[in-house]
Amino acid sequence: MEPVIQVEGLCKEYRVGFWGRRVPVLCDLNLEVRAGETFGYLGPNGAGKSTTIKLLLGLIQPTAGTGLVLGRPLGDASARGRAGFLPENPSFYEYLTGQEFLTYCGRLLGVARGALREQAPALLAEVGLERAARQQIRKYSKGMVQRLGLAQALLGDPHLLILDEPMSGLDPIGRKEVRDLILRQRAAGRTVFFSTHILPDVEMICDRVGILVGGRLVKSGPIHTLLGDELESVELTVTALPAATRAALERLASAPALLQEGRIMFRLPGQSALDAALAILSEAKGQVVSVVPQRRTLEDIFLEASREAQG
């Protein structure tokens, strides 16, 4: 099966100033998004994420490189008609109701009137806005506007969803609502490509990610491969110990021991240190309270990739 999104050597630069100085925004991007997967496109503000999305949708033209979206060249109208799009910080006609707005968008998209009469209420229910369907958009919260934007992106049953910072500016409840919506699209087999800098959400919902820094893709791959199974460290908590046993454990630890209400917590650098510590405790008849593994997070990988890219 061919990729839903495939770009090679994609570049974008702008000319600025009186002399038309070239400023690169995106450099030699090679990217592939497969059918049915949720792909998280990560990067700090100004990394080039929104520029990439505009290129994929044909809203701007690349300086160099080629790409296909849904098997068609970048900017192809037929491909754009099969993709739903949520822009960053959407702003809609505030005097319309949610129902009127979806009807208007559906007419622009060419959805038949009969189908639209069924789709609009169903999509409002899908995003949890059925009770606000007849409210003017000016009365919507930011989270409600974001969900309405997702509803319009789903009009016409698109094969691909492209979402630009869908969790931006939302409170924890709003983020969860949007996250759950994306998870439902994933469960339905729809391909989702979304940009974000909110890393915990990405770990929960993405199959693969790409990390963009300074206009360059510095790392990409499946979440489970990037995170790996290797332990970063282990927090071992035990009851009070004889001084000699505690000293032996402290020599294995990667940080000073912490006292917590009569218990001692040691941070050990990995599995081998944990095995050695448990052997010492077994011999000393020490009591283990808890063993908590600490694995790499996406934030660790993101910060590491950013530092490497910036030298």
Q: pLDDT tens across 164-209, in order?
A: 999 887 888 888 888 998 999 999 999 999 998 888 888 889 999 9
Q: In terms of domains, do 18 and 147 share one?
A: no
Q: Looking at the 3D structure of the chain, how many domains does it have? A: 3
Averaged pLDDT, 10-28? 90
Provide φ and ψ at 255, rounded to 5°: -150, 160
Model pLDDT, residue 1 = 66
Averaged pLDDT, 65-72? 94
Q: In terms of domains, do 173 and 34 share one?
A: yes
User: Cα 113 to the chain's mean position, in Å?
Assistant: 35
Contacts of 303 (CB under 8 A, 6+ apart): none
Q: In terms of domains, do 202 and 236 share one?
A: no
- pTM: predicted TM-score of the whole model, two decimal places: 0.82
Residue 241 belongs to a domain with what CATH number?
Answer: 3.30.70
Residue 268's pLDDT band, with cuts at 50, 70 and 90, is confident
Q: In terms of domains, do 22 and 72 share one?
A: yes
DSSP string across 130-141 = GGGTTSBGGG--
Averaged pLDDT, 119-133? 92
Averaged pLDDT, 224-236? 79
Residue 48's pLDDT band, with cuts at 50, 70 and 90, is very high
**For 107, what's the count of Cα atoms within 13 Å in the CB-facing half-sphere?**
5
Q: In terms of domains, do 8 and 99 share one?
A: no
Contact call for residues 192 and 185 (beta carbons, < 8 A): yes
Is residue 109 scored above 70 in pLDDT?
A: yes
Averaged pLDDT, 134-151? 92
Query: Structure tokens of 201?
Result: 């959400």
Say how far apart CA 128 and CA 181 lie, in whole Å: 10
Q: In terms of domains, do 14 and 67 share one?
A: yes
* Strand-pair partners of 40: 194, 209
Q: In terms of domains, do 164 and 76 share one?
A: yes
Query: Structure tokens of 99?
Result: 């129902």
Model pLDDT, residue 258 = 85
Rounded to the nearest 5 degrees, what angle is found at the Cα of 188, between the Cα atoms of 177 and 80? 90
Q: In terms of domains, do 43 and 173 share one?
A: yes
Q: In terms of domains, do 178 and 289 share one?
A: no
Q: In terms of domains, do 74 and 170 share one?
A: yes
- The domain of 185 spans 1-82+159-227+297-311
Is residue 44 scored above 90 in pLDDT?
A: no
Is residue 256 scored above 90 in pLDDT?
A: no
Contacts of 189 (CB under 8 A, 6+ apart): 36
* Strand-pair partners of 288: 238
